[in-house]
């Protein structure tokens, strides 16, 4: 009997595959059910990992200096004894055989059983011995995950992953292992992970609150990343229907590839600049595949997240320079650090977040407060700009005084580089993101001081409508067509026009084809989208006439009812402007 679950579709596309459950904790462990012929090879893999862990500990034991305290040596002796104990070396083997599960899962089951035994002990000293169990467990697990053949990752190909949540790092890892799609219990359409899933073209549904309870490992699951529907144990007719949709999806993607080299020009001959948003160096290849004109948003938080320490100036310089060279003359717009809110780094203990992180010390506020931590990035960006066209962009400015402080700091860094006789671009183009209502209202004053502006719709909508975009309880209120949002976008575009500086849009709205014609009619001439959306946006642009859109968009901007606006935008998208050209 088909089980249907609803969530939030955050990355379009259909995926059909067997399910793999990701159990999260100190270490992430996938639950995979083995075929009978896979059991003995899996046991061999486990035994090799145990042997490897034992060899590593013996090497450590042999290289301990004589001056090392005796307790340390005993600590290693204890772990070696545990590796020889059947409770850790043989019990998981029995679990693999009896439950037909992968070695990581069997090891976790045994570890949980042992830890629960220690938890029940009354003696405080003995209770702490569970730390030894965890240490040995982690060492064997690392051996499994790094072992020959790729361990469990080898079997993740074409699987649909189910987890409580997934970090951006998890998603990159899974994408490298060719998963078909993923389902999470938490998250929203504007979370960092959802944005990355869209960029990497991984079908995804989030906010399926009971997914890890109701779905079973190894069963066949269908996910529809557009509607947010998840189907398990579907009958043959339903599966066949979705396989037809999957083939049609492939045909549409192949048809879009014909637009890779096409100029981005409207029917009435307006050239529109199409740039891409990227976060990882790997995405440069995707950008080239769709012939983007450059990078309109390069997120740099990955240099600070999930690391023991942030990247220093030299590492940042090497990273930016690699991207500049990979772009081969196309412009790179580097957004300075946007840490805080949903993006926290390893030094969070030194800079704790306030009670409301989205409204707290994040992005440029944080950078201007911790100048010593910010200057290495400014220096690295300026130095990288000596190797190709680079633009620097400050996020989340709210006032002219903030902008002036950021510009003054940039000039100070330039003077330092000049004194040190470092090579850098003294005339680097400097811009700012318009992503809070205060900045949109002040856009004219910003434009007078800047070389370009970029509208960040994700935060602009969040702050205008007072909804936390990470909270799936209020995600339904997120509406790019709210008249207040449209008015603020219009203000920013008009300010750029008056100051004669370019204004682009790099938020999710720019990559959503439902809004492409509306934005063209409002005056937007530069889009920066995820590489995965770029060809679809180009297709809409090449089928549109701006001269026919302007009056309709002026009418939409005068409306106050969201329902009427949505209806009018649908009509705008459904009109065949190719035919209207022929009739003109």
Give average pLDDT by consecutive 10-residue segment, the chain, 584 residues: 88 91 68 87 90 80 59 71 85 92 89 82 67 78 64 72 79 80 85 78 90 88 93 91 92 89 94 92 82 94 73 93 94 89 54 68 88 95 97 96 96 97 97 96 97 95 86 80 97 97 94 96 96 93 95 95 95 79 48
List residues bridging with 22 in a β-sheet: 30
Per-residue confidence (pLDDT) for residue 474, from 0 to 100: 78
Dist CA 375 CA 502 (whole Å):
27
Q: Which residues contact 5 (CB under 8 A, 6 or more apart)?
A: 208, 210, 211, 214, 215, 229, 230, 231, 232
Does residue 425 contact residue 432 with C-beta atoms inside 8 Å?
no
How many CA atoms within 13 Å lie on the side-chain side of 453?
A: 34
The pLDDT of residue 82: 84
pLDDT of 176 reads 75
For the purposes of burial, counting CB atoms within 10 Å of the CB of 151, is it exposed (0-12), middle (13-18) or buried (19 or more)?
A: buried
CA distance 378 to 422: 13
List the beta bridge partners of residue 277.
297
Q: Which residues of 488-504 are buried (b: 16+ CB within 10 A; e: fewer)?
A: bbbbbbbbbeebebbbb
CB distance 295 to 327 below 8 Å? yes
Q: Give the pLDDT of residue 506.
A: 93
pLDDT at 328: 92
Q: What pLDDT is recorded for position 56?
A: 76
Helical segments of 120-167, H only: 124-128, 130-146
Residues designated catalytic: 192, 506
pLDDT of residue 579: 59
What is residue 428's predicted lDDT score, i.e. its pLDDT?
A: 97
């Amino acid at each position: 009997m088909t089980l249907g679950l609803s969530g939030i579709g955050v990355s379009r596309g259909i995926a059909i595959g067997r399910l793999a459950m990701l159990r999260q904790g100190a270490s992430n462990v996938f639950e995979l059910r083995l075929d009978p012929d896979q059991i003995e090879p899996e046991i061999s893999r486990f035994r090799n990992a145990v042997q490897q862990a034992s060899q590593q500990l013996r090497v450590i034991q042999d290289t301990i200096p004589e001056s090392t305290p005796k307790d340390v040596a005993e600590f290693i002796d204890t772990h070696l004894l545990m590796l020889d104990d059947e409770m850790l070396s043989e019990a998981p083997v029995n679990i693999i055989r009896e439950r037909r599960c992968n070695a990581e899962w069997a090891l976790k089951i045994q570890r949980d059983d042992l830890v629960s035994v220690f938890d029940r002990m009354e003696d405080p000293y003995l209770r702490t011995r569970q730390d030894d169990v965890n240490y040995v467990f982690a060492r064997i697990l690392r051996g499994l995950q790094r072992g020959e053949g790729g361990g469990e990752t080898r079997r993740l190909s074409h699987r649909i992953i189910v987890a409580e949540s997934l970090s951006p790092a998890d998603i990159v890892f899974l994408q490298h292992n060719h998963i078909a799609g993923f389902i999470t219990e938490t998250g929203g359409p504007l979370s960092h992970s959802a944005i990355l899933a869209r960029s990497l073209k991984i079908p995804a549904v989030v906010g399926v609150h009971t997914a890890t309870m109701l779905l079973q490992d190894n069963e066949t699951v269908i996910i529809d990343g557009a509607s947010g529907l998840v189907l398990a144990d579907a009958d043959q007719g339903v599966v066949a229907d979705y396989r037809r949709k999957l083939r049609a999806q492939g045909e549409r993607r192949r048809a879009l590839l014909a637009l890779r080299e096409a100029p981005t020009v409207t029917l009435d001959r307006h050239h529109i600049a199409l740039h891409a948003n990227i976060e990882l160096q790997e995405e440069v290849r995707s950008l080239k595949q769709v012939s983007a004109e450059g990078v309109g948003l390069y997120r740099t938080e990955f240099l600070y997240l999930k690391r023991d320490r942030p990247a220093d100036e030299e590492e940042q310089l090497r990273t930016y320079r690699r991207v500049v060279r990979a772009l081969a003359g196309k412009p790179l717009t580097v957004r300075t650090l946007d840490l805080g809110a949903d993006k926290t780094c390893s030094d969070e203990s030194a800079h704790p977040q306030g009670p409301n992180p989205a409204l707290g010390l994040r992005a440029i506020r944080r950078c201007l407060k911790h100048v010593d931590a910010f200057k290495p990035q400014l220096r690295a960006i300026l130095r990288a700009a000596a190797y190709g066209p680079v633009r620097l962009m400050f996020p989340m400015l709210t006032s002219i005084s903030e902008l002036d402080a950021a510009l003054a700091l940039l000039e100070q860094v330039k003077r330092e580089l000049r004194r040190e006789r470092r090579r850098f671009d003294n005339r680097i183009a400097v811009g700012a993101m318009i992503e809070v209502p205060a900045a949109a209202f002040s856009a004219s004053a910003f434009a007078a001081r800047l070389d370009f502006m970029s509208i960040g719709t994700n935060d602009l909508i969040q702050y205008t409508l007072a909804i936390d975009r990470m909270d799936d309880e209020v995600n339904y209120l997120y509406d790019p067509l709210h008249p207040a949002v449209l008015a603020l976008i219009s203000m920013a575009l008009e300010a750029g026009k008056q100051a004669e500086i370019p204004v682009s849009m790099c938020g999710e709205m720019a990559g959503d084809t439902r809004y492409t014609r509306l934005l063209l009619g409002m005056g937007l001439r530069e889009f920066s989208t995820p590489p995965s959306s770029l060809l679809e946006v180009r297709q809409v642009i090449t089928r549109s006439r701006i001269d026919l859109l302007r009056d309709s968009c002026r009418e939409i901007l005068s409306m106050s009812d969201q329902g009427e606006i949505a209806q009018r935008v649908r009509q705008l998208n459904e009109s065949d402007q190719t035919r209207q050209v022929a009739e003109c």
